[in-house]
Structure 1
Amino acid sequence: MTSHVEIRPGRTLAAVAVVQFMVSLDLSVVNVGLPRIAAGLGFDAAGLTWVIHAYALTFGGLLLLGGKAADRYGRRRVLLAGLGLFGLASLVGGCAQAPGQLVAARAAQGVGAALLAPAALALLTSTFPTGRARVKAFGVWSAMNAAGGALGVLVGGLLTQYAGWRWVMFVNVPMAAGALVLARRGAADGPSAVRGGRPDVVGAVLATSGIALLVFGVVRTDRHAWTSATTLTTLAAAALLLAAFLYVERTTTREPLLRLGLFAHRSVAGANTYNLLVGAAMTPTFYFVSLYVQRVLGTGPAMTGLMFLPFALGVVAGSVLAVKLGHRFAPRTLLVVGALLTAVGFGWFGLISADGSFVVDVLGPSIVASVGFGLCLGPVVSLATAGVAAHESGTASGLLNSSRQIGASLGLAALGTAAQHRTGTATTIEALNSGYALGLALGAALLLAAAVIALTVLRGSRRVAPPEPRTDRDQDLVPARN
């Protein structure tokens, strides 16, 4: 299908930038409001993390299906559908009267985001295929991605304190409406997809269920020991579901969600592993620092949000720096430097104390970590999508987004559980500080592992070759251009 929208790279970039800002904002906008959400709806400590997990799991688990849908049915069409669902779910979540209602709304938001995020990134990839324009486009994308995540804490704090926690959900409604209008007028579908069989919905259900069960098993270790029958059974069931997903992808007669051959290429495998580790470290850090500032330092929601502003500015600065350095250094070099800088910042965060201060315990590490994080955002996207066949760009984009969100859920589950075990049943400031510090230090270890991946797996990465055609009929189909 050929889009009837005139291709204008500037408008496409603007539409994608707004969409990415909104999706990233929603990953962090609720963090500062979590204590008041818990008080308002009656969440317990373990249940509260599902306000984040519900979004991240459906987002991460369905991104591959969203990417495949974008390739098959048209990126612009899928983008608009995702925006509509995202805005509606945000409205429902803001009106929630019970914990289950809010968690369900957050899950629906994740479904909408899983549709729109890979479609937006695939549009960007096809509009800016090579050269300096591609470097600049991904620089803008990464800056908006970073700004949304970091400014989400600021916006969430101001809304929670002065308008009420429900507005951390309502704020998405006008943003989704504005992005929908902009996407209708400014985005074209790009190359039409090569149509194969119907998308593999069974695979999507297996992948999402397996990941959700894995996270649930880890989170429940605060009540059931790792060696208990309950935990072992849950983790074993999760492993079986994920193994079934891989089997289905290899044998399905439908269009598989993921061509497993993509992982034979260093750039795809390395970039996604790197991205998973970064996601596993970053989301828990926002969570722990937000709780530390409010529960240990005794800061209000609005001031907490302002304390995250230097982090937001640092990430934008790092993204701009990555664009300038991208013409001189290989993406792998920027990934290594970015991961190491972020690890140093997270290690500094791990030194927080119960009688700490904003300048020493928040501002200093925020500057170091944010610049490092900004450095790696654009290059990892470029590596993960460079050389991918045009009709698989949505799948590759979905895979990259999926690795980040799956990492976020697994990281928050594992690091949050470790922090909870360190804190125990104590509710003193010192005990809380000790748990948060452990979680932050473990985040630094994950970033060091990401740097090792960039140094080893991504060394000598090659361009990704397109898959072999499935049938004689498919061999005659060549992606059309607008």
Structure 2
Amino acid sequence: MPDTRTAQQPSKAQRRVLAPLALAQFICSFAGSNMNVMINDISRDLDTTVQGVQIAITIFLLVMAALMIPGGKLTDRYGRKRCLLAGLVIYGIGALLSAAAPGLGVLILGNSILEGIGTALLIPPVYILTTLFFTDMTSRARAFGVIMALGGIGAAAGPLIGGLITSALSWRAAFVFQALVIAVIIVLIRHMEDPLPPDPTRPFDTTGAALSAVGLILIVMGILAADDNVWLMIALLGLGALVLLWFFRSVRAKEKAGKEPLLSTSLFRNRTSNLGLVTQNVQWLLLMGTSFTVAAYLQVVRGYDAIQTGVIFTAATLGLLASSLAAERLAERRPQRTLITTGFVVTIAGIVVLIAMVGGSPGAWAFAPGLLLIGLGLGVMLTPSVNVVQSSFPEERQGEISGLSRSVSNLGSSLGTAVAGTILVSGLTTGAYAAAMITLAVVGLAGLVAAVLLPRSPAPGTSSGDTIRGPG
């Protein structure tokens, strides 16, 4: 049955909830990209290499992806606010530990492990609470627009903000900044009420959580090993695939036995949601892959410092901000599929422009047009992709789909950094830069195909309030 409820303006209570949720997405996205401009500073200070910093960044993104599904599932058992608060506290501890890190190992523990675990616990509640607090389609689209805008800006502006902090103070101060933002969020959510009570009797599939995490970790480790040992890469990728196959067999066995698995196979029977998940994965792969590739090239090949690198990324930030702010108006006028498809076309065009102009000009200005297009394209499609997936399922399944959705997105982020970074680090030349960007463009085409295959008017979810509708 179509959604006949009229759009409502968000209440004061909804606005108070939205601010900390959006800020939480901002700081997590910021953490995934701000280290890109600190590559030289961190490697000098901690006596490591560019590849060492790349591994730290990738592990952070990978821990998020590997634990996001279990994190989403835990919200049903322990409550959304409790998981959000636990994630914030763990993240804050990790940020402070990173700020004081004497070496790469402690940085990986604080940033990659603790911040990654914290993010996996806090991000699913952000999307579940948004779905529960904003019940009509227009207000929900508006809320997701704000959250995804701040998330995209956090990722795109991470290099600029990180560059400013690093140049003015040090790279360690960037982690103190993260801890301060976390403290602000904790204060803002102190009076937040959980719309649904937790169910302490809800089972948790520990075996499934372990298998899914190990499988995803092995896959990304295999990609990271590509520039060192091809046979090791093949072995890790094959082993990862086998573990994930074991995970899905375990899921089916639990379902047949009448038990609740970590992830229901029925989530993958929704064609619209499946295609939306593909677009989410590719979007974040493009965003993080481009960010790492360009930042590493600027610092290592061209010798730019953190602030110069960050300023160059301003073009992407402005593009993403402009299109994100227009997301609500665009959603009212255009179908979700049109916005996602257009976003991929513009983003791929931006990558092509980056390759062409940077290769033909030594000036920093040559990066601006391509990064601006990439920012515009990503800003147009981030929100509708999330809305397509989240709104394909009823409220009682938001824990599962939110965890899966965020896991897929963060897996895209880690794959983007791993794939592009592996190609770039292997050569660290203009040719390697072009090869990495071409690879990202090819992956972008796969995302474009998934966007084109999305139905013009997606099938309704199982509850009327979750139906996605677009004009035309």
Conserved in 2, the CA contact under 8 Å of 1:80 and 1:116? yes
Q: Unmatched 5+ residue regions in structure 1?
A: 1-5, 424-430, 467-482
User: Alignment partner for residue 202 of structure 1, among 203, 207, 211?
Assistant: 207
User: Alignment partner for residue 180 of structure 1, among 186, 193, 196?
Assistant: 186
Q: Unmatched 5+ residue regions in structure 2?
A: 1-10, 464-472
Tell me what 1:133 maps to.
139
Q: Does the alignment pair 1:235 with 2:241?
A: no
Tell me what 1:258 maps to.
263
Q: Does the alignment pair 1:8 with 2:7?
A: no
Q: Does the alignment pair 1:110 with 2:116?
A: yes
Conserved in 2, the CA contact under 8 Å of 1:71 and 1:393? no
User: Alignment partner for residue 35 of structure 1, among 10, 32, 40?
Assistant: 40
Q: Does the alignment pair 1:164 with 2:170?
A: yes
Report deviation, 1:142: 1.6
**TM-score, with length taken from structure 1:** 0.88
User: Alignment partner for residue 151 of structure 1, among 154, 157, 160?
Assistant: 157
Report deviation, 1:376: 0.5
Tell me what 2:355 maps to.
350
Tell me what 1:49 maps to.
54
**Structure 1 Cα separation of the partners of residues 319 and 248 of structure 2:** 39
Tell me what 1:452 maps to.
449
Aligned-partner residue type, residue 319 of structure 2: G
Conserved in 2, the CA contact under 8 Å of 1:55 and 1:109? yes
SS of the residue aligned with 1:160?
helix
* Structure 2 CA distance for partners of 1:120 and 1:268, relative to 1, 3 Å: same
Report deviation, 1:268: 1.4
**Structure 2 Cα separation of the partners of residues 282 and 157 of structure 1:** 18
Conserved in 1, the CA contact under 8 Å of 2:283 and 2:382? no
Aligned-partner residue type, residue 135 of structure 2: P
Report deviation, 1:197: 3.9
Deviations 1:216-250 (Å, cap 9, x if unpaired)? Answer: 1221121212xx3x333222211121111112222
Aligned-partner residue type, residue 458 of structure 2: S
Aligned-partner residue type, residue 22 of structure 1: I
User: Alignment partner for residue 142 of structure 1, among 140, 143, 148?
Assistant: 148
Conserved in 2, the CA contact under 8 Å of 1:199 and 1:256? yes
Fraction of identical pairs, as percent: 30
Q: Does the alignment pair 1:330 with 2:332?
A: no
**Structure 1 Cα separation of the partners of residues 202 and 40 of structure 2:** 47
More helix by share: 2
**Structure 2 Cα separation of the partners of residues 397 and 357 of structure 1:** 43
**Structure 1 Cα separation of the partners of residues 318 and 90 of structure 2:** 30
Tell me what 2:383 maps to.
378
Q: Does the alignment pair 1:443 with 2:440?
A: yes
**Structure 2 Cα separation of the partners of residues 458 and 94 of structure 1:** 47
**Structure 1 Cα separation of the partners of residues 114 and 360 of structure 2:** 38
**Structure 2 Cα separation of the partners of residues 44 and 298 of structure 1:** 15
Report deviation, 1:457: 4.2
**Structure 2 Cα separation of the partners of residues 224 and 373 of structure 1:** 34
Tell me what 2:430 maps to.
433
Q: Which moved more, 1:40-49 or 1:234-243?
A: 40-49
Conserved in 2, the CA contact under 8 Å of 1:93 and 1:102? yes
Report deviation, 1:68: 0.9
Aligned-partner residue type, residue 238 of structure 2: A
* Structure 2 CA distance for partners of 1:297 and 1:418, relative to 1, 3 Å: closer
Report deviation, 1:355: 4.8
Aligned-partner residue type, residue 152 of structure 1: G
Aligned-partner residue type, residue 380 of structure 1: S
**Structure 2 Cα separation of the partners of residues 448 and 80 of structure 1:** 38
Conserved in 2, the CA contact under 8 Å of 1:349 and 1:441? no
Conserved in 1, the CA contact under 8 Å of 2:347 and 2:373? yes
**Structure 2 Cα separation of the partners of residues 72 and 107 of structure 1:** 23
Report deviation, 1:194: 6.1
Q: Please give the root-mean-square deviation of Cα atoms over the aligned residues, in Å.
A: 2.0
Q: Does the alignment pair 1:69 with 2:78?
A: no
Deviations 1:319-365 (Å, cap 9, x if unpaired)? Answer: 122211111111111000011101110111222228522222x1111
Tell me what 2:23 maps to.
18
Conserved in 1, the CA contact under 8 Å of 2:277 and 2:408? yes
Q: Which moved more, 1:364-373 or 1:134-143?
A: 134-143
Report deviation, 1:164: 1.3
Conserved in 2, the CA contact under 8 Å of 1:157 and 1:305? yes
Q: Which moved more, 1:243-252 or 1:333-342?
A: 243-252
